[in-house]
Amino acid sequence: MFTILLVDDNAELRHVFRLVLEDQGYRVLTAPNGKEGLDAAIAHLPDAVLTDWHMPELDGEELCRRVRRHAVLAPVPIAVISALDPPAEKQTLWTLYLRKPVNVEMLIYTAARLLAGKLPRTSARPFQSNPAPSRWKPVLSKCWP
């Protein structure tokens, strides 16, 4: 299952986008601003990020910049959503740029495009603290007197 981080200061839009994406089978994490979005990204390592451009505390531009500078998050695809035209000199910060208003079909298409070619993560952990039980049973015998 893919995880998408949705960062937007508009609570209603965040709620609607979350419902739409969850209906498509994605796990959706949300944050109301870039600061909380960055914290969530570092803690949960999402497969993609959808973020608003204008937000309080940490705007979309700075969120994109910090994600791109983070060693583990740098390859994560980012879609920026804004009512304004994208600043041409900053196009390397994001993967896709959407103009508001964004309809449901465009949101679904954008999520699929961001995740195209990625394999979903499994919930299995590569190193488990409890080893799997062995099918071999010890043989209890009395060989020694």
Close Cβ partners of 98 (under 8 Å, ≥ 6 residues apart): 79, 80, 81, 82, 106, 110
**Rounded average pLDDT over 111-115:** 93
What's the pLDDT score for residue 1? 86
**Domain membership flag for residue 32:** yes
**Rounded average pLDDT over 109-134:** 63
pLDDT digits (tens, 9 = 90+) for 36-80: 999 999 999 999 999 999 888 888 889 999 999 999 999 999 999
pTM value? 0.78
What's the pLDDT score for residue 124? 41
CATH number at residue 97: 3.40.50.2300
What's the pLDDT score for residue 123? 45
Q: Tell me what the pLDDT averaged over the chain comes to.
A: 83
- Provide the number of structural domains found in the chain: 1
Lowest mean pLDDT among 4-13, 18-27, 122-131: 122-131
**Domain membership flag for residue 136:** no
Domain of residue 62: give its range: 3-115
What's the pLDDT score for residue 83? 86
